[in-house]
Amino acid sequence: MAEQKTTAIKPLNKMNFYKKQQRLALRNCGVIDPESIDEYIAVDGYQALAKALTGLKPEDVIQIIKDSGLRGRGGGGFPTGLKWDFTARNSADQKYVVCNADEGDPGAFMDRSVLEGDPHCIVEAMALCGYATGATEGYIYVRAEYPVAVKRLEIAIAQAKEYGFLGKNIFESGFDFDLHIRLGAGAFVCGEETALMTSIEGNRGEPRPRPPYPAVKGLFGKPTTENNVETFANVPQIILKGAGFFAAMGTEKSKGTKVFALGGKINNTGLVEIPMGTTLREIIEEIGGGIPGGKKFKAAQTGGPSGGCIPVSLIDTPIDYDNLTAIGCMMGSGGLIVMDEDNCMVDIAKFFLDFTVDESCGKCSPCRIGTKRMQEMLEKIIEGKATMQDLEKLEELAHYIKENSLCGLGQTAPNPVLATMKFFKDEYIAHVVEKRCPSAQCKSLLRYVIDPEKCIGCTLCARVCPVDAITGEPKKLHVIDQEKCIKCGACMAACKRVQAISRI
Amino acid sequence: MIKNIAQLNEKKEECFAKMTKSDAGEALTRVVVGMATCGIAAGATPVFKAIEQTIQELALSNITVTQTGCIGMCQYEPIVEITVPGEEKVTYVQMNAEKAAQVVKEHLANGKPVADYTVSAATE
Ligand SMILES: Cc1cc2nc3c(=O)[nH]c(=O)nc-3n(C[C@H](O)[C@H](O)[C@H](O)COP(=O)(O)O)c2cc1C
Ligand code: SF4
Ligand code: SF4
């Protein structure tokens, strides 16, 4: 019997959660000991660096990255090879490589997982980037809330120095490269590349106008290449296995894989890495194992506070940079939040806007004042006090902020509102015209009512109501005073046998 | 200091051997515990200690126990994976110190995986 039982154990890679995944950026996460350079070496670690330094010219490295089709995983999707080329073409006495590990998108933890699971891969990639672009120093900007990641990076850097993969004359090629860690205080705007560099320089993390781009005038005024953690995580494999290996995965213009932090109303939450071009349906139904409680899928948010939602009508969209941009979303850094029929889309839009209002650095007024005004308008809608004219004004202001803000934070802050207005206009209208929240989430619009046909007058509800909003004689119909009701739902729970109370 | 590809390859062979074989050349069973922030927060540290301690108590040999990064399934942490040479990897989920000790006794010492604690039992 025991024998039979053992054969019933299904290996992880055959389970739905893993079947459709392809682990490239995360290939060593969950496999090797991240604090051991020896284990990294055992799985081909530093082979790409050795190959490049001893056999490839810097321009060859850039060409391989270009040919691979790798695009930035930090949100924008800019072609990585092209970015490296820009820096390489600018001559200067000093150039820098910067790794963006600020990861400010709420709910996202892809970059943290790479740093904690495979820190040497980032060290190797940054050295490769330094060699390709002519930089001899690099900075990793990590948020201070990631102490495990910081500790493992420190260990990795020390080990790499000891083995000679960092420092002077690496692989006797004459190439020198050194790495430093800088801790960020966790402000969302510090993830924006120019604010990040200002912060590394020791100043207040505020964006600066571009141009000049970092490739011309970046960190300490020198040509700088800045990439996201996950972007770097793909680099050693591309150099080692060749551009074609990477370009064979994904869609026409989005190659390779993308890591998502899957969360919200989904059975399997976690970190998933899928080939570009996987559909949202595959992610939700197969990898994610569907929605808990048999509820219906409504939408998924990508790109966090800078992105937008993909509605159920577009669930078969293959996920890649261009498809997401076309529907008004964006790839973002990899947060993927699933929403079901119980989520109010106006409330979702407000959640993200609340975040940007808090995180706006205040340097420019369209973002600082504009997002605050948008937040007030959304509050009016949620409280049932808005008019159709307010909806028009909200949309107008959203476009104005997008066009006139200095940095990406302000330029993308209105996206969650615009996307929900585009796909769920009916929900906005229900709040404004009918003063009703279709998902029964917005507290001010909620009403608990007693069905006169069903009520038997047992007095249970009146006894549990904390604010004495329910009146009625025993054995007679009870009524809820809407003015007094605080929408706690206690009465509805109390009436579970008779079920005379409903929430509308 | 590693100065060229030949030295790196030599080191690679050595490191790979160290990961997979004992000093006497016998194949090693590999036990990994997911210890990224998520795993640690879910209680991976006592699980790790329990595994090491039980292995010691039972004087089992040819086993390496190591920490690793995020295995990817948040709600199933702490996760422990065991690969016995020549066998399919077994993934244990929602471990605690007691379950971990039991797994060491049954799976590592007696060669019988504890099906109830595996990911397939948890998800089906
Ligand atoms: C407000 C704001 C926050 C950002 N936060 C991050 C972040 O946390 N991590 C990141 O890699 N990129 C972030 N970015 C994007 C960076 O500015 C930059 O485009 C990116 O790091 C470039 O690397 P890539 O080409 O490898 O994607 C942010 C941008 C903006 C406007
Ligand atoms: S757009 Fe917002 S975050 Fe960016 S500079 Fe202006 S105020 Fe600061
Ligand atoms: S608990 Fe239900 S049945 Fe009883 S009085 Fe209240 S509404 Fe009527």
SS3 content of chain A, % helix, strand, coil (to 5): 45, 15, 40
CA A478 / ligand 3 centre spacing (Å): 6
Q: Check pocket membership of A367 for ligand 2, CB cut-off 6 A.
A: yes
**Chain A within 8 Å of B98 (Cβ-Cβ)?**
no
B18 touches chain A (CB under 8 A): yes
Query: Cα of A124 to ligand 1 centre, how many Å?
Result: 21
- A11 is a domain residue: no
Task: Evaluate whether A381 touches A348 at the Cβ level (below 8 Å).
Answer: no
* Strand (E) or helix (H) holding A426: helix A425-432
Mark whether A399 and A264 lie in a shared domain: no
Phi-psi region at A21: left, alpha or beta (left = phi > 0; alpha = psi -120 to 50): beta
Q: Report CA-CA distances (Å) from A239 to A58, A64, A67, B3.
A: 12, 7, 11, 19
In chain B, where the domains are located: 5-122
Residues A54-62, mean pLDDT to the nearest whole number: 98
- Which of A6, A41, A113 faces B12 most closely, judged by CB atoms? A41
Question: Residues near A296 by Cβ (< 8 Å), separated by ≥ 6?
Answer: A312, A340, A341
How many domains, in total, are found in chain A? 4
**What gap in Å lies between CA A238 and CA A249, rounded to an integer?**
12
Q: In this structure, are A336 and A364 located in the same domain? A: no
Q: What is the CATH number of the domain that holds A400?
A: 1.20.1440.230
Q: Are A96 and A141 in contact (CB under 8 A)?
A: no
Tell me if A368 CB under 6 Å of ligand 2. yes
Dihedral of CA atoms A157, A274, A290, A281 in degrees, nearest 10, equals 150
Q: Do B115 and A33 touch (CB under 8 A)?
A: no
Cα separation, B82 vs B73, in Å, equals: 16
Q: Does B120 touch chain A (CB under 8 A)?
A: yes
Task: Using an 8 Å CB-CB cutoff, list chain B residues near A109.
Answer: 37-38
For residue A1, pLDDT over 50 is answered with no
Residue A15 covered by a domain: no
Atom 12 in ligand 1: which residue has the minimum CA distance?
Answer: A74
Asked if the Cβ–Cβ distance from B81 to A164 is below 8 Å, we say no
Query: Strand pairing of B29-34 and B80-83?
Result: antiparallel
Q: Is A46 in Cβ contact with B69 (below 8 Å)?
A: no
**pLDDT at residue number B74:** 83
Q: Which of A147, A180, A144, A152 is nearest to A29 (CA)?
A: A152
Q: Is B8 helix (H, G, I), strand (E, B) or coil?
A: helix
Domain co-membership, A285 together with A367? no
Which CATH number belongs to the domain containing residue A28 in this structure? 3.40.50.11540
Please check whether residues A127 and A262 belong to one and the same domain.
no
- CB-CB contact of A292 with A365 (8 Å): no
Residue A14 domain-assigned (yes or no): no
Residue A223 counted as domain residue:
yes
Residue A4 lies in a domain: no
List the single residue in B4, B37, B66 with the smallest CB-CB distance to A112. B37
The residue of B15, B21, B30 whose CB has the most chain A CBs within 10 angstroms, and thus the best one to mutate to test that interface, is B15
Mean pLDDT of B8-26: 94
Q: Which of A368, A348, A350, A349 is nearest to A409 (CA)?
A: A368
The alpha-carbon gap from A167 to the nearest alpha carbon of chain B, in Å, equals: 11
The rounded mean pLDDT for chain B is: 94
Residue A401 has pLDDT above 70, yes or no: yes
Is residue A427 located within the same domain as residue A454?
no
Same domain, A278 and A145: no
Q: Is the CB of residue A479 below 6 angstroms from any atom belonging to ligand 3?
A: no
The answer to whether position A34 is within a domain reads yes
Residues 6+ positions from A120 with CB-CB distance below 8 Å = A34, A37, A40, A45, A46, A156, A159, A160
* Mean pLDDT computed over A73-83: 95
A3 pLDDT band, cuts 50/70/90, is: very low
Mean pLDDT for A109-138 is 97
How far apart are the C-alpha atoms of A302 and A324, rounded to whole Å? 9
Examine the domain organization and report whether A52 and A153 are in the same domain.
Answer: yes
Nearest ligand for residue A406 CA: 2
A435, two tokens: 């003063």
Same domain, A198 and A331: no
- Residue A105 belongs to some domain of the structure: yes
DSSP track, A302-335: ESGGGSEEEEGGGTT-B-SHHHHHHTT----SSE
Burial of A5 (0-12, 13-18, 19+ CB in 10 A): middle
CATH of domain B5-122: 3.40.30.10
Confidence of residue A107 (pLDDT cuts 50, 70, 90): confident
The C-alpha atoms of residue A205 and residue B35 are separated, in whole angstroms, by: 32
Q: Provide the mean pLDDT of chain A.
A: 94
Query: Is residue A5 included in any domain, yes or no?
Result: no
DSSP A331-390: --SSEEEEEETT--HHHHHHHHHHHHHHH--SSSHHHHHHHHHHHHHHHHHHTT---HHH
Task: Decide if B19 and A2 are in contact by the 8 Å CB cutoff.
Answer: no
Q: Which residue segment(s) compose the domain that A228 sits in?
A: 22-247
If asked whether residues A413 and A461 sit together in one domain, one would say no
Rounded Cα distance between A230 and A276, Å, is 14
Which ipTM was obtained for this model?
A: 0.95
Higher per-residue confidence, A119 vs A447: A119
User: Which pTM does this prediction carry?
Assistant: 0.91
Query: Is B1 in Cβ contact with A163 (below 8 Å)?
Result: yes
From chain A, the residues in CB contact with B118 under 8 A are 9-10
pLDDT band at A251 (very low <50, low <70, confident <90, very high): very high
* Span B79-99, pLDDT tens digits: 999 999 999 999 999 999 999
**Does residue A210 sit in the same domain as residue A239?**
yes
Q: Using the 3D structure, point to which of A404, A432, A460 is the last residue of a domain.
A: A432
Residue A491: CATH number of its domain: 3.30.70.20
Residue type, A280: L
More confident residue, A174 or A9: A174
d(CA A313, CA A317): 9
Q: Are residue A261 and residue A376 in the same domain, yes or no?
A: no
Residue nearest atom 4 of ligand 2, based on CA coordinates? A407
Same domain assignment for residues A423 and A461: no
Q: How far apart are CA A239 and CA A78, in angstroms?
A: 19
Using CB atoms within 10 Å of the CB of residue A426, give its burial: 0 to 12 exposed, 13 to 18 middle, 19+ buried.
exposed
CB atoms within 10 A of CB A167: 15
Q: Do B72 and A34 touch (CB under 8 A)?
A: no
Evaluate whether A243 touches A318 at the Cβ level (below 8 Å): no
Average pLDDT over residues A346-363: 95
Tell me, what CATH number does A330's domain have? 3.10.20.600
The pLDDT of residue A451 is: 95
How many residues would you count in chain A? 504
CA distance readout (Å), A130 to A100, A225, A382, B123? 15, 9, 51, 45
Last residue of a domain, one of A403, A432, A461: A432
User: pLDDT, tens digit, for every residue of A181-231?
Assistant: 999 988 999 999 999 999 999 999 999 998 999 999 999 999 999 999 999
Band of pLDDT at residue A8, cut at 50, 70 and 90 = low
